[in-house]
Chains A and B, each alone.
Chain A
Amino acid sequence: MINLTAINKSYRVGELVLPVLRDVSLEVPAGEFVAIMGPSGSGKTTLLNIIGCLDSIDSGCYSLADEAVDRASDDDLARIRNQHIGFVFQLFNLIPRISALRNVELPMIYMGIPPVERRKRAMEALERMAIADRADHAPSQLSGGQQQRVAIARALVNTPELLVADEPTGSLDSNTGREIMLLFSELNQAGTTIVMVTHEEDIAAYAGRTIRLLDGVIAADDET
């Protein structure tokens, strides 16, 4: 599913070149649930962004679902994100002024799905997340857990093979966090590959595999 070979990534801060990832190679077969952990500055979010095709690499090879991401054009990357990847963020990133339903519709707009079909599928996704009764609510009218459910519905609505989550429980209380993780486990059992960044051990415990990053290199890769 995910195939990273000798990835290098650095950021330029003024004159300084700051290496973030150094020669990282990683393979994630389809159907895995991977947690990426590591202290802040270790490069875990950068790695996640690269896996999610949001960020580019300086050198190395990356293929996702048999597409050569490192050689893809801007438009191709947009299409790959649209069709193969669903995103879940720590701060949910729902568009504030539109309803939950319309937020879930968003990826389908860029896929070119007609409105009626879009509405139907968005509603189904919300039902799967058990949040359909709040379809007409604006994000500000929802609790954190509810917002994250809407965000997950949005991530799944285009039925992507890969779910990329950046601290999905980071702004939720532990009970709600646990609920979200149970959802993730269900999704994973249904076949979705999940890559998740977290810094909480008990959240990482839901994943079947934990990768620990330290100073831009993989320090440990454990099956649990």
Chain B
Amino acid sequence: MLSFIFDRFNQALYGLKDNRRRTLLSVLGIAVGIAAVMAVGTISKGGNYLIFSELETFGLNSAWVFRDRGDKDPHRMVRTGSGIDNDDYLAVSSGCCPAVRRISAVLHGSIGKRIVIQAINRYSNAQVLGVDVSLTTIANDVVLQGRPFRARDIASRRAVAILGPTAAADLFGSASPIGRAFRIGNRKFITIGVLEEKSRDFLASIGSSGGQDANNRILIPYTTLQQMQGHKQISYLQAEAVTQAQANAAAEQIIAVLKRHNGRNYAYKSETMATYITTTARILDGVAMIGIIAASVSLLVGGMGIMNIMSTSVLERTREIGLRKAVGARQRDIMQQFLLEAVVISTLGGMIGLSLGTVASIVLAEVTGFPLAPSFTVIVIALVVSLAVGIISGYLPARRAARLHPVEALRYE
């Protein structure tokens, strides 16, 4: 059996050697097609991975609850404020929501007017956020130097701050910021911690970093910020659900409590990381599909190249086919011979395309900064697809060859 396959393979190679240049072009056509499909696949996979890993740093179980200022709010024109205050926060954090593991109040600093943030003669344009103890844990923030907030920082409205790496660098340069002082407006704060750098390549690249560059934040106790702003409002609640699947349940439970408190005055809505991830994944899949369809066109062209070379080859070798039939080749032998030639071309193209595609993926990953996500599946698919292209495009010419009448084939000039 093995020698039989080898034999047929050899026959196919003889056929191809005869048309070396045309064979090469067909091989190239398939190679480019496979490489293109593969590069698109790898890039979209890398992009997916990158986005997922960036979203992950927000905490996969995260849910955000805030006032819905849209149609759902019966008093949106009348009532101002965030619709959440300290009493509400106390209510939701006192164990009423089983799907919530931890929760933190978040209060935006400097809405509307700009507050100067200054350390001696250096300035920062960081966003000030008032938070509770658990926020760093919920948002997957790592306090790299110093310490996280403690309950007492919040309770006694201490003027302490944890800086994002950009804010820390802006205010203190390369010196260690721990224990150093700076001003937010006219209030003096002491730095107690610095956050680890978060990768935001992708989010920044699509412009979503806007007002929330995670590396350019200054976290302070929300109680302190409330004192500075002179109210007891909370901008939104950020919660961590017990599991990712329960993120929506957690948000609903929080909203239920808020409604019980203020339902007549305000409406609320929520967002969860889970829905963000699903949405992003769907968009990315769509983009990848378009890319793959575009790349498939070049595969199609490659397939037509094979069909062309096989048709010409059948025509040129009509007498040979007649002779082979005269010495005992059955239809299926001739069919096999020409199909095998097509398959050899396309598989060769597939393998070259695989190498080209790998190189292209590496280069693209380098250029775009996407992580390289090599995949065994892609390799298998590339080879299977090229094999299929060979069989499909070789089929018609091979069948024509197989059906030639021996006498007419032998007489062909």
List the interface of chain A (C-beta within 8 A of B).
49, 52, 54-55, 74-75, 78-79, 81-83, 87, 89, 93, 95, 97-98, 106-107, 109-112, 114-115, 154, 158
Contact = CB atoms under 8 A, between A and B. Distances in A.
Contacts of A78: 325, 328-331, 333
A106 B327 contact: yes
Contact of A54 (B7, B320, B332, B406): B406
A107 B329 CA distance: 8
B320 A95 contact: yes
B331 A106 contact: no
21 contacts: A54-B407, A54-B410, A55-B407, A74-B330, A75-B330, A75-B332, A78-B331, A79-B328, A81-B327, A82-B328, A87-B326, A87-B327, A93-B322, A93-B410, A98-B14, A106-B323, A106-B327, A107-B328, A110-B330, A110-B333, A115-B6
A77 to B, nearest CB: 9
A52 B410 CA distance: 13
* Chief secondary structure at chain B's binding surface: helix
A74 B410 contact: no
B227 interface: no
Given A114-B3, A115-B7, A97 B328 contact: no
Interface string B312-328: 00000001101111111
A49 B407 contact: yes
Contacts of A52: 326
Counting chain B residues whose Cβ lies within 8 A of the other chain, the interface size class is 20 to 34
A115 B3 contact: yes
A82 B327 contact: yes
B328 A110 contact: yes
Given A93-B319, A95-B320, A97-B17, A111 B407 contact: no
Interface of B: 3-4, 6-7, 11, 14, 17-18, 319-320, 322-333, 406-407, 410
Contacts, number: 64
B407 A107 contact: no
Given A79-B328, A106-B324, A106-B327, 11 more contacts: A54-B407, A55-B407, A81-B325, A83-B328, A93-B410, A97-B18, A110-B329, A111-B328, A115-B3, A115-B6, A115-B7
Nearest to B325: A78
A109 B330 contact: no
Contacts of B329: 78, 110
3 smallest CB-CB distances across A and B, nearest first, come from A82-B328, A110-B328, A107-B327
Given A95-B320, A115-B7, A154 B407 contact: no
Nearest to B402: A74
Contacts of B4: 112
Contact of B7 (A95, A98, A109): A109
Nearest to A107: B327
B314 to A, nearest CB: 14
Contacts of B327: 81-82, 87, 106-107, 110, 154
Contacts of A74: 330-331
A91 to B, nearest CB: 8
A185 B3 CA distance: 37
B331 A54 contact: no
Contacts of B320: 95
A162 B325 CA distance: 17
B205 to A, nearest CB: 56
Nearest to A116: B3
A109 B319 CA distance: 18
Contacts of B332: 75
A81 to B, nearest CB: 5
B58 to A, nearest CB: 65
B333 A54 contact: no
Max chain A C-beta neighbours (<10 A), residue from B17, B326, B406 = B326
B334 to A, nearest CB: 10
A97 B325 contact: no
Given A89-B410, A110-B333, A81 B3 contact: no
Contacts of B328: 78-79, 81-83, 107, 110-111, 158
Contacts of A93: 319, 322-323, 326, 410
Nearest to B11: A109
B324 to A, nearest CB: 7
A115 B332 CA distance: 20
Contacts of A109: 7, 11
A97 B14 contact: yes
A119 to B, nearest CB: 12
A38 B146 CA distance: 111
B331 A81 contact: no
Contacts of A83: 328
Contact of B326 (A54, A97, A114, A158): A54
Nearest to A50: B407
A89 B6 CA distance: 30
A114 to B, nearest CB: 6
A172 to B, nearest CB: 19
Nearest to A115: B3
A98 B16 CA distance: 12
Contacts of B319: 93
Max chain B C-beta neighbours (<10 A), residue from A49, A78, A111, A114 = A78
Contacts of A154: 327
